[in-house]
Amino acid sequence: MLNALLEQSSLFLQQLVNGVTLGSIYALIAVGYTMVYGVIQLINFAHGEIYMLGAFLSFSLVSGFFGIGLPFALAVTIAVLVCALAGVLLDVVAYRPLRKAPRLAALITAIGMSIFLQNLALLIWGAQIKSFPREAVPAFLFAPALQFGDVVISWLQIVILSVAVILMVFLQLIVHYTKIGRAMRAIAQDQTAAALMGVNVNRVVSFTFALGSGLGGVAGILVGLYYNAVYPTMGYFAGIKAFAAAVLGGIGSIPGAILGGGILGLAEVFGGGYISSSYSDGIAYAVMILVILVKPTGLFGRLSRDKA
């Protein structure tokens, strides 16, 4: 009896740890969706592909896929910077020309870019699942850091959680206490008025894309390591779940995206563990649809001036 109870509670704790890890990754991606939506009211469908790019680039640079193998830290830094740059390029090439066009046109373009990038990755890296070579990754990451009975927390899980927390704090500081952060908030409130007050809208939007895509790239690298699997469609599924997290938290709200990511990560792990493992992917879709239908502003969202 007592044994069964202990087993149950350690299973519960293990799920909790896994859920928090997953949730912090979703939060990192969701922030990218929510920032872009807040600034230009666009669901950047291709954001999941930036995340996928982060995983692939770090994998390629570490394993020498492009000919040279780089040290882990350098490879990861380059991958994140390239992701940030790719985000800016995505905006400049695909979205900026459509800023004045109907919103539907930009949304359809975002879907087009998502498909384009996903298949580009398929062309370059192939459909097979890639794994990080063990010897190229710092070994301590996969070692257990803490162990309570049957509950194991790996260093990687601790790294994921702390990276997510540090980046989120950093992000909040940028948005609330820097000049460019103030410009972002101004554009989110009223783009025309911000432009009239001398805010360089294009530059701020580029900065937003760089920031969001950089965070997405970090998430991609962390997931690539966590599941030790990198493949072209990884951005599609993670992107949808992170988007659901952003919707749940209230799209446009950064704290909302963080909370939404956490809730969704936990819901997925516990739902998969206790309710039905085959429908664990469905939780994200169901949450997304329900929130949109019942409370489109999410947990923290403001009522926009347009109807929701």
Chain residues binding other proteins by CB under 8 A are 41, 43, 94, 97-98, 101-109, 111-120, 122-123, 126-127, 236, 240, 243, 247, 276, 278-279, 281-282, 285-286, 288-289, 292-293, 296, 306-308
User: Which whole-number Å values give the CA distances from 229 to 55, 141, 222, in the listed order?
Assistant: 9, 15, 11
How far, rounded to the nearest angstrom, does the alpha carbon of residue 180 sit from its chain's CA centroid? 22
CB of 285 to other proteins, least distance (A): 4
What's the rounded Cα separation, in Å, for the pair 261 and 109?
26
CB under 8 Å to 307, separation ≥6 — which residues? none
* 125-163 as b/e: b if 16+ CB within 10 A: beeeebebeeebbeeebeeeeeeeeebebbbbbebbbeb
Question: Which residue number, 195 or 292, has a Cβ lying nearer to other proteins?
Answer: 292
Question: Which residue number, 174 or 286, has a Cβ lying nearer to other proteins?
Answer: 286
Q: What are phi and psi of 88, to 5 degrees?
A: -65, -45
CB of 202 to other proteins, least distance (A): 17
CB of 245 to other proteins, least distance (A): 13
Please name the amino acid found at residue 227. Answer: Y
What's the rounded Cα separation, in Å, for the pair 7 and 263?
24
Question: Which residue number, 50 or 106, has a Cβ lying nearer to other proteins?
Answer: 106
For the chain, what's the residue count? 308
CB of 146 to other proteins, least distance (A): 35
What's the rounded Cα separation, in Å, for the pair 283 and 289?
10
CB of 279 to other proteins, least distance (A): 6
What's the rounded Cα separation, in Å, for the pair 49 and 169?
25
Question: Which residue number, 223 or 287, has a Cβ lying nearer to other proteins?
Answer: 287
CB of 212 to other proteins, least distance (A): 17
Question: Which residue number, 74 or 290, has a Cβ lying nearer to other proteins?
Answer: 290
Going by C-alpha positions, the residue among 210, 266, 249, 238 that lies closest to residue 26 is 238
* Residue found under tokens 């206490």: 177
Question: Which residue number, 113 or 137, has a Cβ lying nearer to other proteins?
Answer: 113
Contact status, residue 54 vs residue 196, Cβ threshold 8 Å: no
CB of 70 to other proteins, least distance (A): 27
What's the rounded Cα separation, in Å, for the pair 66 and 85?
19
Q: Could you tell me if residue 149 is left (phi over 0), alpha (psi between -120 and 50 degrees) or otherwise beta?
A: left
Question: Which residue number, 134 or 307, has a Cβ lying nearer to other proteins?
Answer: 307
CB of 213 to other proteins, least distance (A): 18
Question: Which residue number, 90 or 225, has a Cβ lying nearer to other proteins?
Answer: 90
CB of 189 to other proteins, least distance (A): 19
Question: Which residue number, 154 or 191, has a Cβ lying nearer to other proteins?
Answer: 191
